[in-house]
A and B are shown apart, each in its own frame.
Chain A
Amino acid sequence: MVIMVSQRAVDAVFESLFLLTDIRAMLRETAPHHALSGSQREHVRDLLSRLEGEIAIIREDLG
């Protein structure tokens, strides 16, 4: 069976990688102890929630 993946899902793969990259940048900014401030914590939560949304799109396309 052929599974067609939409442009939307391809975009979601890239967007997911980009969101993870923003988290990686946060790791660098807060090295070595990664003691995140309140706003940094909130920012990471927001990134994770958007990441979950992107992953949902990929799952949806797989059926």
Chain B
Amino acid sequence: MKCTDEFDVRDVDECCINIDPIQVGGRLTADAMKAVIAYGDGYSVCDQCRKPFRLDYIKSPPIDRFHRDLAAFVNMDVARVVPGARRGFQAVTDTYVGKGDPVLITALSHYTEVLAIEGRGGAIREIPKSAGNIITADAAAETIEAVIREFGRPPVLLFLDHYDYQYGNCHPVAEIIGAARQYDIPVLYNGAYTVGIMEVDGKSLGADFVVGSGHKSMAAPAPSGILAATAERAAEVFRTTGIKTDVTGRTFGIKEVGMMGCTLMGVTLMGMMASFPHVRERVKRWDKELSNGNLVVEALKAIDGTVIRSEYPRKHTLTRVDTINSFDRVAKTHKKRGYFFSSALKERGIAGIIPGATKVWKFNTYGMTRIQAEYVAATFREIAEENGLPVSI
């Protein structure tokens, strides 16, 4: 079906169970879809913008309250909406990282953290991962010491992903932040895979900044996200303009430099706001999500030759699986070659696996009903059995 003359309707989630590792937490709630209908026009939230002309002061729709609610949601003092987690990273690096400054990331950090540091000319140093693909506090402390030896000073910032995008593994962030605290290193907690799907308490963790992704985990349109900070750090990262132009002598009120003034002025913010009451409730049901995820993981484990590459038992619904000795073995002789697997899934109404992937791939079960999880689990077994792979009970 056509959406316009130029492109089709996107009905992946209406017709299939989507297991795409990055898409599932960002699917809109019905209320967000309604907000998209009503607020799709460009600057749609600006109808009631009055002095001091800043997004987080708008009362109708209640954007001012939403900002306070967001900060409370992750237990931080101040929050701003940003065009994606990456722009939150960038605002922080713009504030704290200068040319040649050492900045710590981890061996499992997202590439946008690297780009945010690279953009400032920072010197990236990675905390290595363990054999089990976990970042430990000991490894963090050792890397900090190595940086001090190399640069004569500690890193100016530490980026820490609670759950990484590669394995969906859980890293002991509170312990790592504790180690960084001993050197007074500000810590940015990257909650792209947590904020909006499980409860996050930034202050309990000891984070200076909490970054979340609207389109990855808060049922919001892209690009959207949040950057939350402690009161102390907020004064720095959300500093207001002080400039006066030379010819016209213009000044710009209380616009925030790091935010480039107002950030999400329309449909992204309204989608995020519309989903928020549901998001606030759904984080309390993380156990149910994990249970659905484990059902699918157990089904895959039962297929001879399949190995779960993520930590096990699973603590996240995003999982990396190795099927080199199962589905990839089938692909070698199948007439569709590597495409047999995604094709077999698609025929059964399951989407989101990269076409042709049969070696190592990721999936995410977030947001499924129990019936859908049972169906996905049964489908993996069925495809294996149909292709002669032994499946244990």
Contacts and interface: CB of A to CB of B under 8 A. Distances in A.
Interface string A1-45: 000000000000010011001101101110111000000000000
A35 to B, nearest CB: 9
A29 B367 CA distance: 9
B254 interface: no
B372 interface: yes
A31 B37 contact: no
Contacts of B15: 27, 31-32
B285 interface: no
Chain B interface bracket (under 10, 10 to 19, 20 to 34, 35 or more): 10 to 19
B30 A22 contact: yes
Contacts of A18: 34, 37
Given A24-B14, A27-B14, A32 B34 contact: no
A29 B34 contact: no
Given A14-B38, A24-B14, A29 B369 contact: yes
Main secondary structure of the interface of B (DSSP, over half): helix
Contacts, number: 38
Nearest to A29: B369
A11 to B, nearest CB: 11
Contacts of B27: 28
Given A21-B34, A24-B30, A25-B30, A33 B13 contact: no
Contact of A32 (B17, B29, B30, B33): B17
Contacts of A33: 349
A22 B33 CA distance: 9
Contacts of A27: 14-15
A28 B37 contact: no
A31 B372 contact: yes
Contacts of B17: 31-32
B350 interface: yes
Contact of B33 (A14, A24, A31): A24
Interface in B71-117: none
A5 B322 CA distance: 60
8 closest residue pairs by CB, A with B: A32-B349, A25-B30, A27-B14, A21-B33, A18-B34, A28-B13, A17-B37, A32-B16
Interface of B: 13-17, 27, 29-30, 33-34, 37-38, 348-350, 369, 372, 375
Given A31-B17, A32-B348, 20 more contacts: A14-B37, A14-B38, A17-B34, A17-B37, A18-B34, A21-B34, A22-B30, A24-B14, A24-B33, A27-B15, A28-B13, A28-B27, A29-B369, A31-B14, A31-B349, A31-B372, A32-B15, A32-B16, A32-B17, A32-B350
